[in-house]
Amino acid sequence: MDILESGIGELIQPFDMDEFREWNRTQKSRKLVDKRMSQKPLTVSSRMAAILVLNFMEPCVPR
Amino acid sequence: MSLAREVIRQGKKDLRVCGQGVLELDLWLAAGLVKKLDITYIGLEVYGIPPSLRRAVESGQVETCVEWSNASITWRMKATAMGVPFLPARSMLGTDMLKHSAAKVVEDPFTGIKVALLPALVLDVALIHVQRADKYGNCQIEGISGFAVEMSRACKRLIISAEEIIPTEEIRKYPDRTIIPYFLVDAVVHAPFGSYPGEMAYMYGRDEKGIKEWVDMSSTEEGAKKYLEKYVHSVPDHAGYLNLIGDKLLKEAVKNRERRE
């Protein structure tokens, strides 16, 4: 397949889709376990974090 | 916001941040946590480009800032959720945004039109704030959900903060609202007013004065540090933050919430 144009931005998170699929199979449990915890054990590695504060930008439209 | 403040409190560094950012990301930038950005929108809405962002980029603290449209970053996460390495789209074509992204343009083998190939985005950690969750992680969102659906399916670890932790029986009464199922979730944090000083649809409105305080103080590096000291470092946790804000302002925010009627 010929590449007609490429963005100059860095792919800052190289990925392995097979590894991610395996992660979901092996690391995501289907068991119903209590997952409540305080903020203190919160772990964000120095790798990638993704943030989304929902509704922060929602316009105030009367309904 | 409560999770974002806790990340600062814990002193995490060298983050590569993906998504969309308003106040929460601006605080991270001011605190020096961010090394790379893979971003759609970042700004303080009516207040424009944040001074903290400008300082972080111009000083070299943020090493790279890769741009995407809102649609394209959502579809990158959707590609991950689908288990494919990219999705083709027509978003960003013909714009400088494509030039500053990491997308590639090819000719569609079926029709011959140009399409942008959007690489999958696999996240290590995602933080999402929702109105309601049960203790297992089943989450319900009201109002605009952004790219929460795609993000929740594109990350290795998903941390949920919720305004309310409700019984699973209540969740099951409205299964169509459970857009993030429990098996995607790794942790559930109870965080009432977790979006404050931003708003949470139908629960509380935004504290415009509180946001303006950040806008004004963050115009200088020293002011931004004072803000972080007052609202993040001087309190031990989210409960401490809410005590600092006080009942009067929180009740005012509830009074100013968006209403359905």
Query: What is the residue-level pLDDT of chain B in tens, covering all 261 positions?
Result: 999 999 999 998 999 999 888 899 999 999 999 999 999 988 888 999 999 999 999 999 999 999 999 999 999 999 999 999 999 999 999 999 999 999 999 999 999 999 999 999 999 999 999 999 999 999 999 998 899 999 999 999 999 999 999 999 999 999 999 999 999 999 999 999 999 999 999 999 999 999 999 999 999 999 999 999 999 999 999 999 999 999 999 999 999 999 987
pLDDT score for B109 = 95
CA distance B195 to chain A (A): 7
List Cα–Cα distances, B152 to A25, B39, B82, B165, B241, in angstroms: 15, 17, 12, 18, 27
Considering only CB atoms, A7 lies closest to which of B103, B109, B184, namely B103
In chain B, the residue whose alpha carbon lies closest to the alpha carbon of A61 is B258
CA distance A25 to chain B (A): 11
In chain A, the residue whose alpha carbon lies closest to the alpha carbon of B96 is A7
Considering only CB atoms, B38 lies closest to which of A12, A41, A60, namely A12
| pLDDT > 50? residue A55 | no
Considering only CB atoms, A55 lies closest to which of B84, B119, B143, namely B143
pLDDT score for A25 = 94
| pLDDT > 90? residue A44 | no
Which of chain B's residues have a Cβ under 8 Å away from the Cβ of A60? 199, 205, 258
| pLDDT > 60? residue A45 | no
The single-letter code of the amino acid at B192 is P
Task: Decide if B179 contacts B146 (C-beta within 8 A).
Answer: no
Q: Give me the total of CB pairs closer than 8 Å, taking one residue from chain A and one from chain B.
A: 237
Q: Maximum CA pair distance of chain A?
A: 51
pTM of the model: 0.91
pLDDT score for B20 = 87
**Backbone phi, then psi, for A8, in 5-degree steps?**
-90, -5
Q: Do B22 and A7 touch (CB under 8 A)?
A: no
Confidence class of residue A47 from pLDDT cuts 50, 70 and 90?
low
CA distance B223 to chain A (A): 23
| pLDDT > 80? residue A48 | no
CA distance B222 to chain A (A): 25
3-state secondary structure of B163: strand
pLDDT score for A50 = 67
> Exposed e or buried b for every residue in A26-36, given b needs 16+ CB within 10 A?
eeeeeeeeebb
3-state secondary structure of B51: helix
Q: Do A52 and B20 touch (CB under 8 A)?
A: yes
pLDDT score for B261 = 75
ipTM of predicted assembly, 2 dp? 0.88
